[in-house]
Amino acid sequence: MGLQLPPLSLYIHIPWCIQKCPYCDFNSHAVKQGIPEQEYIAHLLADLDQDLKLVTGRPVSSIFIGGGTPSVFSAAGIRAILQGVRQRLSCTNDMEVTMEANPGTVEAERFAGYVAAGVTRFSIGVQSFQSAQLKALGRIHDCDEAIRAAKLASNLPLHSFNLDLMHGLPEQDIRGALADLQQAIALAPPHISWYQLTIEPNTAFASRPPVLPADDTLWDIQQQGLALLQQHGYQQYEISAYAKPGHQCRHNLNYWRYGDYLGIGCGAHGKITLPTRNTIVRTVKIKHPKGYMDIGRGYLDSKEQVPAEDRPFEFFMNRFRLLEPCPHSDFTAYTGLPLSSVAPAINTAVAQQLLLDTGQHWQITDKGARYLNDLLTLFID
């Protein structure tokens, strides 16, 4: 059974930010002596040049510029990146171009320039509208700046924009969590990412853990918040993503549907299907900016094939983040494996009421979404 090509996306990593937040485990580096913007852009495009042979002739349907804080780059810099991409890759006419941005005053005033450069969607890292919480999270913006950035985005000719919001923050109660969510809803973003703070290894919070809400409080926040979002027309389509109709993030949908993506920039990950070799390869680029921009080393840190026995877990780990039905045909097309290879695990999941099987689709249940790790464990070879 042969592999089929899924849609293709491009991820671009910009690793710098003004300061490192204590909860952040992303590959980001605080600005200390300025940003080598032009030098880094040249390396990004050279990195892309080296990857082109993996995707010859394939169109790109979405781009995501993440970080770090990409909005520390100038609008001219973002334009140069996107122009360079278009010169090298075929892009669909309706390509979605998302850029992460902080709501600080300096960055917000650049928003119009980023749109003129080709950005069609912003993801604005608000996290909270409460001053005490923003301070605890190490954020450098305040509530007024967050509100201003959202209003500015709503008045720009964008396809969409997202507000990134956390709950389960240090010593947060239900009232505080819902107040944040109500403020976000009042700004009428087409998309809200609303997710629980987790303590990740190798972060400042891991070495000095804050006091987080009890599990019962977290559950109540989740349930009441979900009801509030639904009441205002936001449809949950992923574990932590809520959108008005037609405003799902297409780039992330491609990730979760086990699509392909090139990853360029420091520490960027890629996943590419090669049907002629019946393989799926994963790439990781050099993580630290100094090493990444060391001329002569190249940009690739590792490249490995995904063994056939690992593909079911990889596929479902992504696909079951989504609440939409998953066609059986997607599994066979994008893993190259027969349905019989996962039949025992599927039967167990159905028996445990973690999954429904219509004969054509699999649908994760409410119980399956709540006990997602238990569901995914069934697919580990």
CATH number (domain holding residue 58): 3.20.20.70
Number of structural domains (the chain) is 2
Q: Are residues 54 and 200 in the same domain?
A: yes
The model's pLDDT over 1-49, given as tens digits with 9 standing for 90+, comes to: 679 999 999 999 999 987 656 656 566 677 767 899 999 999 999 999 9
- The residue among 192, 223, 254 that closes a domain is 254
In a domain, 296, yes or no: no
In degrees, to the nearest 5, what angle opens at C-alpha 71 toward C-alphas 66 and 75?
A: 115
In a domain, 302, yes or no: no
Q: Are residues 219 and 334 in the same domain?
A: no
Parallel, antiparallel, or unpaired for β 8-14 and 60-67? parallel
Q: What are phi and psi of 239, to 5 degrees?
A: -50, -40
295 has pLDDT over 90: no
Report d(CA 170, CA 167) in Å as an integer.
Answer: 9
Report d(CA 272, CA 314) in Å as an integer.
Answer: 13
Q: What is the pTM of this model?
A: 0.94
Contact 13, 266 (CB under 8 A): yes
Q: What is the mean pLDDT of residues 53-63?
A: 96
pLDDT at 105: 62
Q: Are residues 131 and 213 in the same domain?
A: yes
The model's pLDDT over 176-218, given as tens digits with 9 standing for 90+, comes to: 999 999 999 999 999 999 999 887 777 677 677 777 889 999 9
> What CATH number is attached to the domain comprising 358?
1.10.10
The model's pLDDT over 305-331, given as tens digits with 9 standing for 90+, comes to: 999 999 999 999 999 999 999 999 999
Chain-centre distance for alpha carbon 188: 21
Q: Are residues 248 and 319 in the same domain?
A: no
Report d(CA 335, CA 107) in Å as an integer.
Answer: 41
Q: Are residues 131 and 224 in the same domain?
A: yes
The model's pLDDT over 135-153, given as tens digits with 9 standing for 90+, comes to: 777 777 888 999 999 999 9
Burial of 82: CB neighbours in 10 Å, binned 0-12, 13-18, 19+: buried
Q: What is the mean pLDDT of residues 278-288?
A: 96
Q: What is the mean pLDDT of residues 247-271?
A: 97
Report d(CA 254, CA 223) in Å as an integer.
Answer: 27
Q: What is the mean pLDDT of residues 350-378?
A: 96
Q: Are residues 71 and 201 in the same domain?
A: yes
Q: Are residues 130 and 208 in the same domain?
A: yes
Which is it for the CA torsion 13, 114, 189, 148, positive or negative?
Answer: positive
Coil, strand or helix at 243 = strand
Q: What is the mean pLDDT of residues 349-364?
A: 97
- Write out the residue range of the structural domain in which residue 369 sits: 308-381
- Closest alpha carbon to 178 in 136, 138, 129, 106: 129
Q: Are residues 148 and 26 in the same domain?
A: yes
Q: Are residues 103 and 228 in the same domain?
A: yes
Q: Are residues 314 and 243 in the same domain?
A: no
